[in-house]
Amino acid sequence: MSIELPPSAAPRTAHAQDVLPARVQRRLLDLARSGDPVAAYVYDGDVAAARARELRAALPEWASVYYAVKANSFPGIVGALAPHVDGFEVASLSELALATAAKPAAPGTPAPVVAAGPAKSVPVLTGLVEAGVEAINAESPLELHRISRIAGELGTTARVALRVNPAEIPVTGSLHMGGEASQFGIPEPDVAEAVRLAMKLPGIDLVGFHIHAASNNLDATTHAAYLRWCIEWSVATAVEHGIDLRHIDAGGGIGVAFEADFKDERPFDVARFGELLAATPPPGGVKVALEPGRFLVADCGWYAAEVTDVKHSYGTSFAALRGGINHFQLPTSWDIVHNVAVLPVEDWPEGCPRPEAAGVPVTFVGELCTPEDTLLRDVRVERVRAGDIAVFPCAGSYGWEFAMHSFLGHPVADRILL
């Protein structure tokens, strides 16, 4: 049995303390003074809003931004983004409730929501049809039948896009290519039959296609080429089958340079992306939806956990945290080096020994009874002591939502909006 651990950071060093915004440091030190062990996500809604405005301003008018709520479902962040995005992408009834509360539909218009998910249950589909969302991305013929039946029972028609698993995407780069077996979408060879079914079912208004084949792409040129391909494929397929094309959903896929200080990663060039897209608009009347999640919220959050102990074992130093993969599973699950900063806390009980590690590689581990509870390995730290706070920047996406909250039954991490 192999144990999955994040890659070693050696021989690199931890972030300096000043990588943490002053407002974040102040809030964490206030928490430390409360007397309870610090274990929290701190979010800044202004950072998320600024990122959304940056992307929205760079894109041509025909491109719409739908925030993927799964990346960070904290209501304060969803609310901060609402004025700056065109809508939300959801995959559950709880996400649907968050989205419709944050951005209600204007009278007489669909709810500004697109919905995804490979195995939507009847209750989920019913909620989506009742809400009158802009598009339900249907994943199978059975899902089409269910949507039509639900819409008929409710006396309405549901707007539906077919999610397609393309046979091939003629674009190279940081993309998850199509043509592979997957639980997501309808294989391209089966699209013609699915289109015929959707067009004959009485409760469905087929508005277009959903193609989500890109993931965490950092190259703006490649991603623009991918988006252009999605548009061209959708237009050609709609013409072939006589579809009144109004909606193309190209998924998310805009990347975040999580390992910029460890690899030769550069942030996604939003301005260049927008310039390239503007050169190839879709036909008139066709909305193109982008579903960025992590790109909008990654840098608006910090995961912070108190160092409960510092241990030295057979030549390795460990900083044990009040937290771990039960709070912040991303580094282990995504196999990345997610760097840390140490926030010194000077308060310490008089007469109590205070173990530390200084000027040596340190492995940051959590409180769970498994060696897999490892967040960062072998990063050289100037000094870390019991009672200090380990802070992981760029933790605003797939952090709290992605963690193993119930394992061992420890308290979940707090979530705090600055």
* Catalytic site positions: 369
Picking from 253, 260, 262, the residue whose alpha carbon sits closest to that of residue 219 is 253
The answer to whether residues 170 and 229 touch, using CB atoms and an 8 Å cutoff, is yes
What span, in angstroms and rounded, lies between the C-alpha atoms of 113 and 102? Answer: 11
Q: Quick one: which of 374, 342, 365 has its CA closest to 14?
A: 342
Structure tokens at 167: 């046979």
Pick from 335, 364, 366, 371: which is nearest to 1 by CA?
Answer: 371
Quick one: tokens of 212?
Answer: 């989500």
> 276-306: buried (b, 16+ CB within 10 Å) or exposed (e) per residue?
bbeeeebeeebbbbbbbbbbbbbbbbbbbbb
- Joined together, the tokens standing for residue 296 give 């909008």
What single string gives the DSSP state of each residue in 246-270?
-EEE----B---TTTTTSS-----H
